[in-house]
Amino acid sequence: MAAKGFQDTPMVAEAVYNYSVFTKTEKWCIISMVSYAAWFSTLSSFIYFPAVHLLSEDLSVSVDKINLTITSYMAVAMIAPTLVGDAADVLGRRPVYMVTLSLYVVSNIAIASSKSYSALLGLRVLQALAISGTFSIAYGVITDVASPAERGSFVSAVSFAITIAPSIGPILGGSLSYAAGWTWIFWFLSIAAGLCLTIMVLFLPETSRRIVGNGSIRPPKHLRLPVPKLMRHWEASDQVVKQKRRMPNPLKSLTILIRKDNAVIIFGCGLLYVVYTCINASLSVLFIDIYNLNQWQAGIIYLPFGLGGMVSTFFSGPLLDTAYRKARVKRGLSTDKVVGDDLDDFPIEKARLSVIWIPLIVTTASIVAFGWTLHYHHHIAIPLSLQFVAGLCMQLDFSVYNTLLVDKNHRTPAAAQASSNIVRCTFAAITISFLQNLIDAISIGWTFTFMGGLCLVVAALFLVDYQVGTRWRQRSIDSDLRIAT
């Protein structure tokens, strides 16, 4: 078969090519499906929180023991993406989705049917193992089908799915627990995930560029859609292209951290995620104590932060794509969204990070102001408004970062996201363990001032990558090529 040109596939010489043969409508359908799957990775945590006391009473165990199911979930969620990230890069997106979503559905059904604490603890581990890596695969799919010139919009779509969960999760979990009991949290998750699995089995094509290139290469039979001609851009007579296979390597995610340009932004994102997590973890406790809210009202106060994040996803994509296009024009390069760009030679760091500075400054200011308005017990409308601003700007920061990370690691995007997950979850778990002690020791205002200081460190790390990240990345690529030859 005369292969149609595509990028990042060793069997074909690089040339002028269509980055992806999928149509714009097909791309949005694909991204919608993987965003739906990524939604569960965050929702599974936040929908669970309102049921802690009910679980404690129903299973006749202490709240501390129920909290252990949260800790164990987070610990597994930190590691799980490393297991599925590189597997999705090597074996293909479609089979990994089928396995992970199937396990997730089974685990939720089992939790809903169980009546013992030991079963809950063990099945929560299985639940985390199954679903925690879906967000990293989603970013891999984006890299498969979206050229760098249009990638920002698709990253924002996945970010929207992930961001909406912290807002509606506690409300949904509280409503289901109140109306039908805590088991219906898991019946809901099993039904929603079962629907997602069915949609993907029927409609999600294989997109891995290692297997189908830009979508024009015929995949192996087990990776084809059951519906003939649906999203099929190869001829029936085309032969499957044989390629050199390697076994998935869970440690691949750790090797990504060796590169200095990766490490500096991943550690920066880790610190930003610490701030994000600390805000979410302290919201209900602080507002209940300061403003005498009940449990239902405490769930509602998560909305402004989440709504701000959702609003940002509507303009972060166009903002990123416009900045990328301007960077290409400035250097006299093509801005065609259909044609792929050689990111190895392009200073993608400057193109992406050029739009992050103002949002980071506003993030810092809003977080510090949020802390002091709570410290001095100002009217509740003020900290809620500041929450909205912080949520909007922080989500924009994360969208820029996630787009940059997959651009830097466009050959192994899922593994790169998995490596980022390890760092940010580790940082967040450590900080959360002493957050309340920090608030008690130095007060609410100074705690959030400290969080604002972390945001300034993030800005400094991103500035380092802006200045020297391209040079570091290209040296690493040259070194890898010398080793390969």
pLDDT at 331 over 50: yes
Query: How many of the other CB atoms lie within 10 Å of CB of 2?
Result: 5
Mean pLDDT of all residues in 351-364: 94
Pick the CATH number of 21-232 from 3.40.190.10, 3.30.460.10, 3.40.50.920, 1.20.1250.20: 1.20.1250.20
Cα 195 to Cα 197: distance, rounded to the nearest angstrom: 5
pLDDT tens digits, 221-232: 888 898 878 888
Both tokens of 176, joined, read: 């289901």
Both tokens of 427, joined, read: 């940082």
**Which CATH superfamily hosts domain 251-485?**
MFS general substrate transporter like domains (1.20.1250.20)
pLDDT tens digits, 288-316: 788 887 766 766 787 888 788 888 878 88
Task: Write down the pLDDT at residue 42.
Answer: 83
DSSP-derived 3-state class of residue 149: coil
Cα 75 to Cα 80: distance, rounded to the nearest angstrom: 9
Q: Is the separation of the CB atoms in 105 and 197 below 8 Å?
A: yes
DSSP-derived 3-state class of residue 339: strand
Query: Who contacts 80 (Cβ-Cβ below 8 Å, separation ≥6)?
Result: 128, 129, 130, 132, 133
**Domains 21-232 and 251-485 alike in fold:** yes
- pTM comes to 0.79
pLDDT, averaged across the chain:
84
Nearest to 257 by CA among 271, 247, 267, 249: 267
For the chain, the residue count is 485
The alpha helices in 243-259, defined as continuous H runs, are 252-256
pLDDT at 261 over 70: yes
Mean pLDDT of all residues in 160-180: 79
pLDDT at 257 over 80: yes
Task: Write down the pLDDT at residue 249.
Answer: 63
Domain boundaries, the chain: 21-232, 251-485
Cα 344 to Cα 51: distance, rounded to the nearest angstrom: 48
